[in-house]
A and B are shown apart, each in its own frame.
Chain A
Amino acid sequence: MILAHRSLEAGSLQLEIKLVDALIQSKPKARQRLLLEAGIVAAIALLLLFVIPPILVGSGQGFRVNLLGRYLALAIAALGIDLIWGFTGILSLGHGVFFALGGYSLAMFLLLQLPDGQLPDFFSPYGVTELPWLWQPFYSLPFTLFAIVFIPTIVAAILGYLVFRNRIRGVYFSILTQAALIVFFNFFNGQQKLINGTNGLKTDTATIFGQTVSSPPIQAFLYTLTILLLVGGYALSRWLTSGRSGRLLVAVRDDEARMRFSGYDPTMFKVLVFAISAGLAGIAGALYTVQSGIITPQAMNIAFSIEMVIWVAVGGRATIVGAILGTLIVNFAKSILSEQYAQIWYFFQGGLFLIVVTVLPGGILGWLREDGVRLVRSQINKRRPLQTYPSLEEDPDVQYERKNLTNRESDR
């Protein structure tokens, strides 16, 4: 152990050599891995695009393609939850707001695809004869696309800035997001004359490009778009959580105060992640709406926002792939189980959450990566992988200390 203070120059030559070695070894490896990952993602995307739909249709389960499309849209929202909760450790229970904002934006655009001078049908029972100002900008497709992503992003950035600046954290933040959810829910619910209140906006009978939204070609297009955007969302999440920004997200989760005393302003990082996750939820909301045919204030149902967190927890926190996997597994389980036994799903969902929290804290993927590998190794009689030395890792006393004497939070 060299504790004497060394001038940096003295060892720099040796370090240069080490560095060069490290670069030579690591660069191509990292690139290879990235390429491999991109290849796998592309393969899965192609599978979802060209193989799975024909199989499902061939086996008489054609409606499941639409379900798959919807759940893949939800997975985009789950990616956002994984960013904000999995990596950054901020539990948002209000992502339904952003989901709904995205959904309503696209629905408003679709309902305005009418001959000149006509109003969407639902307005007439309320005696509305002039298009409300809120609707005007949604004639424009570019504005709508902008709105789907950036209205949720901006709302989240403002809300996040106000909350994080005042250092509201943990449970208090979660409660605030729930409060925001209720505020938005009640507002949308009460605005009959503006957005058809509790009935929501139906998009499946609207027309676009001369065809109804629910027609097969449009739905196939939306299915493809969902997969492409999910791949995009995956790439964005991977980029954000690798390198320096990824380390800073973990730093926010591990020790915000340390960050502050090291000269970082955690507020801005949290606002950024919250805003990005809201943008992802907005995209998810838009894609889900057009594939399910309707958006109502029920998208801001409290249970739905909590479900989003459950998907991520089941798949595995802070794993990105886990968010997608968890969403698909939970939602397909939901649809299959509720077809068989209508009422049993909620028990099952509750049970699933309990199991994940108590038995599988790392979710499915976390379990696979840790214990699954260990299980297989022990079956084929290999030693488990060690991170330090056998004398340390296999010594029960050392393990006990590591478990019980880690950072205490005395001067937080």
Chain B
Amino acid sequence: MSEKILQIENLTVNFDGFRALNNLNFSLDTGELRVIIGPNGAGKTTFLDVITGKTKPTTGQVTFKGKSIKGNVEYQIARLGVGRKFQTPRIYLNLTPRENLELSCNRYKNVWNALFGKPSSAERRTVAGLIETIGLETKADLKAALLSHGEKQRLEIGMLVAQSPDLLLVDEPVAGLTDEETENVGNLLLALAESHSIIVIEHDMEFVRQIARKVTVLHQGTVLCEGSMDEVQNDPRVIEVYLGKQEDDHAAA
């Protein structure tokens, strides 16, 4: 399992002179669950933007499953096997959870198939199984706009899984959730980690402690340090960064 699924070398993203990411190096093993933390403005979301092709790197390169993703746009990268969950839930509000999942689950995402294809029974089974996994059985055929915030979060994670990506990128999955829902999402992620490589970005330290095995701290666009939760918490540089910016951190949480 020591094979790298994602490797990032000397990555710099320059927004009109502001370096959102600065000479960043990062690698993720296949099957690993990694949590990325960092104060506001550390470049966490930009980091995901680059991996998913939303933002083009100024210099440096991203290698996914041994291949450079350079020149690919979002939907091509998604087809390579990268799934992304956004900070606020992004689902199709005017479709039902079942339809939402079905669209993600569909293997052939071209126009022809959209017109003439029908969901296979295997796909329908997968969708039904996922609905159960994310606990939306009773609401599977309501408009997704009627779901609560937590249910939407879970639905989006379900959509991600339906896509059956090799790498899941999850941006602040528990923002705005109750403690109970937070724990549910945590368990869901841990269960998913058994068969996927996952990167989670999070502010909620309780939650990070629940799921984290290895933590990467980003600061000002570079990796500040990496290690287990305890190592990271006791690292003097991390303490300095966080204590120095404690107000920011509170505001974010």
Q: Which residues of A contact B (CB under 8 A)?
A: 1-6, 8, 11-12, 15-16, 18-19, 240, 243-245, 247-248, 250-251, 253-255, 257-266, 268-269, 272, 387-388, 402, 405-411
Contact across chains for B91 and A265 when beta carbons are under 8 A apart: no
B121: Cβ under 8 A from any A Cβ = yes
Contact across chains for B99 and A3 when beta carbons are under 8 A apart: no
Q: State the CA gap A410–B175 with chains docked (Å).
A: 13
- B114: which A residues are within 8 A, CB to CB? 244-245, 248, 269
Residue among B86, B113, B149 with max Cβ neighbours from chain A (10 Å): B86
Contact across chains for A387 and B109 when beta carbons are under 8 A apart: no
Contact across chains for B146 and A260 when beta carbons are under 8 A apart: no
Contact across chains for B88 and A12 when beta carbons are under 8 A apart: no
- A387: which B residues are within 8 A, CB to CB? 142-143, 146
Q: State the CA gap A365–B84 with chains docked (Å).
A: 38
B52: Cβ under 8 A from any A Cβ = yes
Q: How many A-B residue pairs have CB under 8 A?
A: 141
Minimum CB–CB distance from A34 to chain B (whole Å) comes to 15
Contact across chains for B88 and A408 when beta carbons are under 8 A apart: yes
Contact with A along B116-150 (1 / 0, CB 8 A): 01110100111011001111000100110110010
Contact across chains for B194 and A5 when beta carbons are under 8 A apart: yes
Identify 22 residue pairs between A and B in the complex whose beta-carbon atoms are under 8 Å apart, listed by A's number: A1-B135, A3-B135, A3-B184, A5-B191, A6-B129, A6-B132, A19-B125, A254-B91, A254-B93, A255-B92, A257-B90, A258-B90, A258-B92, A260-B73, A260-B75, A261-B74, A262-B75, A262-B163, A263-B163, A266-B75, A387-B146, A402-B145
Q: State the CA gap A11–B106 with chains docked (Å).
A: 21
Contact across chains for B74 and A407 when beta carbons are under 8 A apart: no
Q: State the CA gap A402–B144 with chains docked (Å).
A: 11
Q: State the CA gap A11–B137 with chains docked (Å).
A: 13
- B115: which A residues are within 8 A, CB to CB? 240, 244-245
Among the listed A11, A16, A264, which residue makes an inter-chain contact with B132, where contact means beta carbons less than 8 Å apart?
A11
- A258: which B residues are within 8 A, CB to CB? 86, 90-92
Contact across chains for B102 and A247 when beta carbons are under 8 A apart: yes
Minimum CB–CB distance from B97 to chain A (whole Å) comes to 12
Q: Are A3 and B187 also in contact (CB < 8 A) when A15-B129, A263-B163 are?
A: yes
Among the listed B83, B142, B143, which residue makes an inter-chain contact with A261, where contact means beta carbons less than 8 Å apart?
B83
B45: Cβ under 8 A from any A Cβ = yes
Q: Which 3 A-B pairs have the closest CB atoms?
A: A5-B191, A1-B135, A263-B78
Minimum CB–CB distance from B82 to chain A (whole Å) comes to 8
B104: Cβ under 8 A from any A Cβ = yes
Interface size class of B (residues with CB under 8 A): 35 or more
- A253: which B residues are within 8 A, CB to CB? 94
Minimum CB–CB distance from A309 to chain B (whole Å) comes to 20
**Least CB separation from B136: chain A residue:** A1
Residue among A8, A244, A410 with max Cβ neighbours from chain B (10 Å): A244
Among the listed A2, A255, A269, which residue makes an inter-chain contact with B90, where contact means beta carbons less than 8 Å apart?
A255
Minimum CB–CB distance from A11 to chain B (whole Å) comes to 6
Contact across chains for A15 and B125 when beta carbons are under 8 A apart: yes
Minimum CB–CB distance from A266 to chain B (whole Å) comes to 8
Contact with A along B207-244 (1 / 0, CB 8 A): 00000000000000000000000000000000000000
B95: Cβ under 8 A from any A Cβ = yes
**Least CB separation from A410: chain B residue:** B88
Q: State the CA gap A269–B79 with chains docked (Å).
A: 17
**Least CB separation from B121: chain A residue:** A19
Contact across chains for B93 and A407 when beta carbons are under 8 A apart: yes
- A240: which B residues are within 8 A, CB to CB? 115
Contact across chains for A411 and B87 when beta carbons are under 8 A apart: yes
Contact across chains for A260 and B110 when beta carbons are under 8 A apart: no
Given contacts A8-B125, A258-B92, 4 further A-B contacts (CB under 8 A): A5-B188, A261-B84, A262-B163, A263-B78
Q: State the CA gap A263–B53 with chains docked (Å).
A: 12
Q: State the CA gap A408–B126 with chains docked (Å).
A: 29
Q: Are A407 and B129 also in contact (CB < 8 A) when A244-B114, A261-B74 are?
A: no
Minimum CB–CB distance from A64 to chain B (whole Å) comes to 39
Contact across chains for B79 and A263 when beta carbons are under 8 A apart: yes
- A1: which B residues are within 8 A, CB to CB? 135, 184
B103: Cβ under 8 A from any A Cβ = yes
Contact across chains for A2 and B133 when beta carbons are under 8 A apart: yes
**Least CB separation from B49: chain A residue:** A411
Q: Are A262 and B187 also in contact (CB < 8 A) when A269-B114, A388-B142 are?
A: no
Q: Are A15 and B95 also in contact (CB < 8 A) when A4-B187, A6-B133, A264-B75 are?
A: no
Among the listed A2, A265, A402, which residue makes an inter-chain contact with B146, where contact means beta carbons less than 8 Å apart?
A402
B167: Cβ under 8 A from any A Cβ = no
Minimum CB–CB distance from B233 to chain A (whole Å) comes to 28
B1: Cβ under 8 A from any A Cβ = no
- A257: which B residues are within 8 A, CB to CB? 74, 90
Contact across chains for A407 and B84 when beta carbons are under 8 A apart: no
Among the listed B110, B113, B159, which residue makes an inter-chain contact with A262, where contact means beta carbons less than 8 Å apart?
B159
Q: State the CA gap A64–B78 with chains docked (Å).
A: 56
